Amino acid sequence: MNDVADVALYGHWICPFATRVEFALHQRGIGHDLIDLPPSAVRGPDFVLPDEFIEHSPRLEIPMVRVGSDYLADSIPVLEWLEDRVEAPSLLPPDDAGKALVQERMAWIDKHAFRPMISMYYGVEPDDIEQASDALADALAEMGRWTTDTGWLAGTASSLAEAVAMPIHVRMAGLQRLGFTGELTAEWSVHGERCRSLAGWPSVEWSTEQTDEFVGRFEAFRRKRRSQNASRS
């Protein structure tokens, strides 16, 4: 890894947005410190936030990255910022058209795949979960079509688009246990295999225990919400 830059990531394995940045740092070979900081939904009542996090993360949400004495929060801006701030192998094409395509697809994934994914595991009622599952399946089918010519989401090599999509591959087994019933296309499945061969994959791959914890947290969340809803009716 490149240890020249002074880089720190404030994040946690269960947060899909932090996973994006953790993957990109390892894929680019950027040495960094990891400050284990859970997302707000996972923080215990006695958890003490670092002062610099309070100062530099406007919404008090991860991921946040420090490069030297500068800080930035929010995963997609962080991924692009790191490209400018840290000299290491790039996850952006060298040409303007290639960069524009990667950026366009990063935004698309964030809107059309991540939103239904999160809506699905935060869903409480079966109809809502099914609707989000269907929307996620449609998004993954479209993303699979992008890979038909080159094997990657944008261009001829893995890019920041892979970093943005990576958490979906990481948590797919958990998503299926939480209600994702969509059939994964051959193209999307092959893309997952390609991603699992990348240098950054081992840094974000979940163990069985992590998948179990993820599923257990959202099953407990659903039970609690359903109980609250029943008590109000």
* pLDDT digit string, tens, across residues 23-45: 999 999 999 999 999 999 888 88
* Mean per-residue pLDDT, 161-182: 98
Q: At what angle do helices 75-85 and 96-109 cross, to 10 degrees?
A: 160
Q: What confidence score (pLDDT) does residue 4 get?
A: 53
Q: Please, which residues have CB within 8 angstroms of residue 100's CB and are 6 or more apart in sequence?
A: none
Whether 1 shows a pLDDT value over 90: the answer reads: no
Whether 228 shows a pLDDT value over 80: the answer reads: yes
Rg (CA), the chain: 18
Strand 64-67 to 7-11 pairing: antiparallel
Q: What confidence score (pLDDT) does residue 22 get?
A: 98
Q: What confidence score (pLDDT) does residue 183 get?
A: 95
Q: How far apart are CA 131 and CA 144, in angstroms?
A: 20
Contact between residue 19 and residue 204 where contact means Cβ atoms under 8 Å apart: yes
Q: What confidence score (pLDDT) does residue 20 get?
A: 98
Q: Which of 23-32, 93-102, 223-232 has the lowest mean pLDDT?
A: 223-232
Mean pLDDT across the chain: 96
Whether 206 shows a pLDDT value over 90: the answer reads: yes
Whether 150 shows a pLDDT value over 80: the answer reads: yes
| Residue 227: both structure tokens together | 């109980």
Contact between residue 91 and residue 98 where contact means Cβ atoms under 8 Å apart: no
Domains and CATH numbers, the chain: 7-85 (3.40.30.10), 96-204 (1.20.1050.10)
Q: How many CA within 13 A on the CB side of residue 43?
A: 15
Q: How far apart are CA 45 and CA 200, in angstroms?
A: 33
